[in-house]
Structure 1
């Protein structure tokens, strides 16, 4: 029987599989579990883009003490 080097791509793939084994079993046994989290990431994309857009906006106080937003 041959053994794999720890540094081979196949050995790395098996090591990754073993680390993810419990999650893979949950996915296979439960029909409601998604294989990825794309839905959650897409829902948060608007928040990240909005936060990035607000970096370009400057805020200054007016003479009356109110905040003025200028693009």
Structure 2
């Protein structure tokens, strides 16, 4: 845990949840828990393998790691 008034430890996960809510949750109404959990699992796979990130030079995290390991 970070010290009081120090949010740096939480910044990464809060950023992820912000993207998750904006890209997956706010635009869709799910009719069942199963539909939501399937969409959530698909989103996490897409987020890590296909979605480009600015901090990764426009590559997905998987592509960025593969590039770094190949160098």
TM-score by length of 2: 0.27
Higher helix proportion, which one? 2
Q: Taking CA–CA contacts closer than 8 Å with sequence separation of 6 or more, which of the two structures ends up with the larger relative contact order?
A: 2
Instruction: Give the structure with the higher percent strand.
Output: 1
**Rg larger in 1 or in 2?**
1
